[in-house]
Amino acid sequence: MRLISRADFEKHVTPDACTALLDYLNTEYAGEYGNDVYAGFVDRLFSDGDDRKHQINRVLNMVIPAVGIQTKDEFVEPRIRYQAMLPAPVMAFVVAIKNLVREEVVFSPSVQHLEFKGQMMVIAVFEVLRSEPKKFLPPDVFAHADVAADPLRHICDYVAGMTDAYLLRTYDRLFSPRMGSVFDKL
């Protein structure tokens, strides 16, 4: 999708952060990357087609088997007793990748525009539904909200539970002049 440039990658995912990966590639694929394993890896990662796919597979083949399970004996419940963990060098690589994605993708203007638009849609739909719940909520949802101890919380939960597609349809039905029909199922 070309959301991340090579320069962005190299800025966030430095050779120091890649120690575990570079050791893995140098061991498992000896000689394939030349004298500079980092440059060879990045060259292939930013090439087209199969080379990129193979590099991503190799990253996953390094990270996934490194996952270990740590037991916290003070807990009985399995969901909190067992915790996945990574060795520090592998975790350093994963953290660098997460920072790269956060800084260069999630915080990019194109993604932020969409996030802002989504937030405004959620707020607009919520405001309409709370303004006159009996008129705008589906009957079954209104029946629960009407007797709830905190009706606004019930409406909030209803909006929070909407899928993106359902929120978009609801927003269009409420605000787009050319959208919506009495035959639409709520």
Each residue's pLDDT tens digit, 78-103: 899 999 999 999 999 999 999 999 99
- Stated pTM of the model: 0.73
Average pLDDT of 134-162? 94
71 forms bridges with which residues in the sheet?
82
What pLDDT does 138 receive?
Answer: 93
What pLDDT does 177 receive?
Answer: 80
Taking Cα atoms as reference points, which of 173, 163, 180 lies closest to residue 124? 173
The yes-or-no verdict on residue 21 having pLDDT over 70 is yes
Provide the residue ranges of all domains of the chain, joining segments of one domain with +: 6-107, 110-175
What pLDDT does 49 receive?
Answer: 83
What pLDDT does 181 receive?
Answer: 67
What pLDDT does 78 receive?
Answer: 87
